[in-house]
């Protein structure tokens, strides 16, 4: 028997075994629902675009969550069909409207779907011209001109009005929270006030008092209301305010097993503690052509530790879902989700319903960043709707988002390097983090133990050094934590980029080299060198320190990187430090971005700007502390995101490229935080190693001897 230890192979084998034999793996070890991520093909694409009664309809096979993929894919369709913008209706389909598509993740909507859509539109165009009636088949795929990618058309590569833009600014119904149904009630699931990773259940509650509250509809106890190891108690009421009164009347008491504090999280991912055992992390980051042997007997020129904490997604819209059963037992769910088909799969499993009796209608998502990929409120709403016999809306509040959602895992990095004659010779990067792709918000402990054999591509993303070195070694260890961790804004690309670019900056200092030129000279990919040159020209990079005024220190930094091997970014940052308060202000950010062919330049710039703001957050604000066995934060006051007053002047330069679209959504995150951290290093003469950077800590560093 051949054993496949690759991640996809292991999960596919487990899924196949469970589906074919209906096996379980002991108490608490049933195989969870595994997301299906099919690669779209010709037959799928032909179902996305249709022509009836003289009008065209485009079922967008992606979720809209502010990246404006509705606009980009409609541009491709209109250009290839040769029709006016007003002749095509773009719709976000439900799970019954089109065949299964994979989740909207990874900045792959244009990269992986644009060409297929263009080919489908070319097929439809030729079919309509020939007077074709009925559904076109994939075998009729024509040798189409693919005008959408030939350039010079009215849509692709142009700025157009945003699809749904007018509806957004006029407050029309687009989000799941806008859904209104006859007889709609409101639901909430109460849980023990601890992390869902700890086993917890209800001991007692005053049910009689709850039933006396005006607006009471139902109390629901159902095994399907489990989240992680937290067993919940469901409430249904006529109004949201009644939910608050019912919860207060219940006075629930909870049984909880186990406890943890912040010190436990810190210890679990401490890289130096892990390395003290004498073993390099077990999961290797693939570096083609690299010598894996790095002689540790020669002193390192750079030996740097970087610690990056747990952090929230910070989406403005808390997750929400509406569920309703009709008289025949058909279930319809409206939700702000990144993966409607996975939600349908979970509902079918948990509610023991036929999959074809479920229709998930994805709505526009008010921010997700990887955080809305699993099934949470959708299942809660469906369970409560079934129990109460009425349509139910469940919307988490901010505290629930922070305490019940999954977050960016903390990571602890040790980076070492040797430089000889101005060249990077040895590179060594070890880190400890927690699971990203196989989040513990959906995967039980036993399955993550299996994953320890195969690693986590999410943690590894961006950990491959994009610069030349004679010898290099990089790897990571995984540690399940007592808080939920999972996909966040480019997965590991942001934290890894911050760590790597901090160390590369120190290498340039060892070499007495200009940090921009050092990167250009070492860039493995000419496209990376290209964005570095472009951003240097845009920023007027001269290499000299910036002039400082009284009570101020100023610095300039640069960073670059590659996202998923197909998109490139480089950033220059100017920072200013007030030496009397320790307050750091980023005054300006320049970004050069090469993602291949650009469909809508305005939206690519907007995505870059978002990444630059994420970089600000990574350096100055992103952090979730834990206390009393849970995330301590309850709102944005405790888990802040950058505010408008924090945003510097932003300049984004799109590098013209004839390469295929490589994905724009999260690319600049590989360089944004690193450039800011490097600018801070130049301003203060101190390499910041523990994030986020707080004014009080800066002030202490300035007041220390030699500061």
pLDDT of residue 703: 87
The residues, ordered by sequence, that sit 6+ positions from 542 with a Cβ below 8 Å of its Cβ are none
pLDDT of residue 452: 77
Quick: pLDDT tens for 351-400: 999 999 999 999 999 999 999 999 999 999 999 999 999 999 999 999 99
pLDDT of residue 467: 97
CA angle 163–169–175, rounded 5-degree value: 70
pLDDT of residue 295: 60
Q: What is the DSSP letter of 161?
A: P
For the chain, the distance separating the N- and C-terminal CA atoms, rounded to the nearest angstrom, is 63
- Residue 16 — very low, low, confident or very high, per pLDDT cuts 50/70/90? very low
Closest CA to 283 of 497, 470, 468, 430: 430
| Residue 703 DSSP SS3 | helix
What distances in angstroms separate CA 428 from CA 23, 243, 411, 447, one per listed residue?
43, 54, 16, 30
Please state the rounded mean pLDDT for residues 456-473. 95
For the whole model, what pTM was predicted?
0.93
Helix (H) / strand (E) element for 394: namely: strand 392-395
Neighbours of 468 (CB within 10 A): 14
Question: Hunting for tokens 């990919």 — which residue is that?
Answer: 525
Please state the rounded mean pLDDT for residues 682-691. 95
Q: Between 270 and 35, where is the model more confident?
A: 270
In 37-109 the beta strands, taken as DSSP E runs, fall at: 49-52, 55-59, 88-91
Q: How many CA atoms lie within 13 A of 158 on its CB side?
A: 16
| Residue 90 DSSP SS3 | strand
Whether 190 shows a pLDDT value over 90: the answer reads yes
The alpha carbon dihedral of 257, 262, 263, 267 has a sign of: positive
- State the DSSP string of 419-462: EETTEEEEEEEEEEE--SSS-TTTS-HHHHHHHTTT--HHHHTT
Instruction: Pick left, alpha or beta for residue 256 (phi over 0 → left; psi -120 to 50 → alpha; otherwise beta).
Output: beta
- Residue 451 — very low, low, confident or very high, per pLDDT cuts 50/70/90? confident
- Asked whether the beta carbons of 94 and 340 are under 8 A apart, the reply is yes
pLDDT of residue 638: 94
Q: Between 445 and 488, where is the model more confident?
A: 488
pLDDT of residue 64: 93
pLDDT of residue 182: 97
CA distance 566 to 559: 17
Q: How many CA atoms lie within 13 A of 243 on its CB side?
A: 20
Counting residues of the chain whose pLDDT is more than 90, the rounded percentage is 77
- Residue 544 — very low, low, confident or very high, per pLDDT cuts 50/70/90? low
Whether 559 shows a pLDDT value over 60: the answer reads yes
- Residue 15 — very low, low, confident or very high, per pLDDT cuts 50/70/90? very low
CA distance 406 to 404: 7
- Residue 279 — very low, low, confident or very high, per pLDDT cuts 50/70/90? confident
Q: Between 23 and 183, where is the model more confident?
A: 183
pLDDT of residue 10: 44
Q: What is the DSSP letter of 159?
A: -
Please state the rounded mean pLDDT for residues 541-568. 89
Q: How far is CA 27 from the centre of its chain?
A: 32
pLDDT of residue 4: 37
CA distance 50 to 121: 9
Q: Are strands 88-91 and 55-59 parallel, antiparallel or unpaired?
A: parallel
| Residue 214 DSSP SS3 | coil
Mean pLDDT lowest among 207-221, 405-419, 439-453, 493-507: 439-453
User: Which residues face 627 on adjacent strands?
Assistant: 630
In 191-338 the beta strands, taken as DSSP E runs, fall at: 200-204, 216-220, 226-227, 230-231, 233-237, 253-256, 283-284, 302-308, 320-325, 331-335
- Asked whether the beta carbons of 384 and 234 are under 8 A apart, the reply is yes
Question: Hunting for tokens 């951003």 — which residue is that?
Answer: 535
The alpha carbon dihedral of 38, 41, 46, 48 has a sign of: positive
Most confident of 28-32, 106-110, 620-624: 620-624
Closest CA to 629 of 48, 301, 115, 193: 193
Q: What does the block give as tokens for 574?
A: 């100017």
Domains of the chain: residue spans and CATH = 42-169 (3.30.365.10), 176-258+319-395 (3.30.365.10), 269-311+407-703 (3.30.365.10)
- Residue 136 — very low, low, confident or very high, per pLDDT cuts 50/70/90? low
Quick: pLDDT tens for 295-326: 667 899 999 999 999 999 999 999 999 999 99
User: Which residues face 559 on adjacent strands?
Assistant: 571
What distances in angstroms separate CA 331 from CA 353, 368, 386, 394, one per listed residue?
9, 24, 9, 15
- Asked whether the beta carbons of 410 and 269 are under 8 A apart, the reply is yes
Please state the rounded mean pLDDT for residues 419-430. 96
pLDDT of residue 135: 53
Closest CA to 67 of 111, 28, 130: 111
CA distance 68 to 364: 10
Neighbours of 453 (CB within 10 A): 13
- Asked whether the beta carbons of 404 and 396 are under 8 A apart, the reply is yes
Quick: pLDDT tens for 141-176: 555 567 777 767 889 888 898 999 999 999 999 999
CA distance 438 to 491: 12
CA distance 634 to 586: 28
| Residue 417 DSSP SS3 | strand
Q: Between 549 and 521, where is the model more confident?
A: 521
Q: What is the DSSP letter of 635?
A: S
Q: What does the block give as tokens for 388?
A: 């109460």
- Looking at every residue in the chain, the average pLDDT score rounds to 90
CA distance 707 to 698: 10
Q: Between 291 and 384, where is the model more confident?
A: 384
- Residue 288 — very low, low, confident or very high, per pLDDT cuts 50/70/90? low
Quick: pLDDT tens for 219-275: 999 999 999 999 999 999 999 999 999 999 999 999 999 999 999 999 999 999 999
């Amino acid at each position: 028997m051949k054993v496949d230890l690759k991640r996809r192979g292991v999960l596919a084998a487990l899924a196949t075994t469970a589906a074919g034999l209906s096996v379980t793996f002991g108490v608490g070890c049933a195989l969870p629902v595994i997301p299906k991520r099919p690669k779209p093909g010709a037959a799928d694409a032909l179902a996305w675009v249709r022509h009836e009664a003289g009008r065209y309809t485009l079922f967008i096979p992606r979720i809209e969550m502010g990246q404006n993929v509705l606009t980009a894919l409609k541009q491709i369709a209109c250009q290839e069909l040769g029709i006016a913008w007003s002749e095509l209706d773009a719709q976000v389909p439900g799970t019954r409207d089109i065949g299964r598509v994979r989740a909207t993740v990874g900045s792959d909507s244009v990269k992986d779907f644009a060409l297929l859509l263009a080919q489908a539109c070319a097929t439809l165009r030729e079919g309509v011209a020939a007077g074709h009636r009925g559904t076109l088949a994939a075998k009729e795929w024509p040798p189409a001109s693919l005008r959408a990618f030939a350039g010079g058309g009215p849509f692709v590569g142009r700025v157009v009005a945003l699809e749904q833009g007018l509806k957004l600014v006029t407050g029309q119904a687009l989000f799941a929270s806008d859904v209104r149904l006859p007889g709609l009630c409101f639901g909430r699931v109460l849980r023990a006030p601890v992390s869902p990773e700890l086993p917890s259940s209800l001991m007692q509650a005053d049910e009689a008092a709850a039933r006396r509250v005006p607006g009471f509809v139902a109390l629901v106890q159902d095994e399907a209301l489990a989240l992680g190891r937290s067993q919940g108690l469901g409430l249904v009421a006529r109004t949201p305010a009644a939910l608050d009164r019912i919860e207060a009347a219940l006075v629930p008491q909870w049984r909880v097993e186990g406890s943890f504090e912040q010190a436990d999280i810190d210890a679990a991912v401490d890289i130096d503690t892990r390395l003290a055992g004498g073993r390099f992390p077990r999961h290797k980051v693939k570096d083609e052509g690299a010598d894996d042997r790095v002689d540790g007997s020669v002193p390192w020129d750079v030996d740097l530790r970087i610690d990056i904490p747990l952090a929230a997604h910070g989406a403005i819209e808390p997750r929400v879902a509406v569920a309703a059963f009709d008289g025949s037992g058909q279930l319809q769910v409206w939700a702000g989700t990144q993966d409607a088909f996975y939600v349908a799969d979970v509902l079918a499993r948990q509610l023991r319903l036929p999959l074809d009796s479920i229709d998930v209608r994805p709505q526009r998502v008010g921010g997700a960043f990887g955080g809305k990929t699993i099934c949470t409120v959708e299942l809660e709403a469906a369970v409560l709707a079934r129990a109460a016999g009425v349509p139910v809306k469940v919307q988490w509040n901010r505290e629930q988002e922070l305490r019940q959602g999954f977050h960016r895992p903390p990571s602890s990095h040790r980076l070492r390097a040797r430089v000889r004659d101005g060249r990077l010779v040895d590179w060594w990067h070890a880190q400890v983090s927690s699971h990203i792709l196989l989040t513990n918000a959906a995967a039980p402990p036993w399955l993550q133990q299996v994953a320890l054999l195969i690693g986590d591509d999410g943690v590894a993303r961006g950990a491959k050094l994009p610069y030349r070195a004679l010898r290099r070694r990089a790897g990571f260890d995984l540690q399940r934590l007592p808080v939920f961790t999972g996909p966040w804004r480019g997965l590991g690309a942001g934290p890894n980029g911050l760590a790597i670019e901090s160390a590369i900056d120190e290498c340039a200092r060892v070499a007495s080299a200009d940090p921009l030129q050092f990167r250009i000279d070492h860039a493995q990919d000419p496209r990376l060198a290209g964005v570095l040159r472009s951003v240097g020209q845009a920023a007027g990079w001269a290499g000299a320190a910036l002039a400082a005024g009284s009570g101020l220190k100023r610095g300039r930094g640069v960073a670059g990187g590659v996202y998923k091997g197909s998109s490139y970014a480089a950033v220059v940052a100017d920072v200013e430090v007030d030496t009397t308060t320790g307050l750091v202000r980023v005054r300006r950010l320049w970004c050069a971005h090469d993602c291949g062919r650009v469909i809508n330049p305005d939206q690519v710039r907007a995505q870059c700007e978002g990444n630059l703001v994420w970089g600000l957050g990574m350096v100055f604000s992103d952090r979730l502390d834990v206390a009393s066995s849970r995330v301590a934060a309850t709102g944005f006051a405790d888990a802040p995101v950058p505010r408008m007053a924090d945003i510097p002047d932003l300049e984004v330069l799109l590098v013209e490229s004839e390469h295929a679209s490589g994905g724009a959504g999260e690319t600049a995150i590989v360089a944004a935080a690193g450039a800011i951290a490097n600018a801070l290093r130049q301003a203060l003469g101190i390499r910041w190693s523990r994030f986020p950077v707080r004014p009080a800590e800066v002030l202490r560093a300035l007041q220390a001897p030699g500061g």
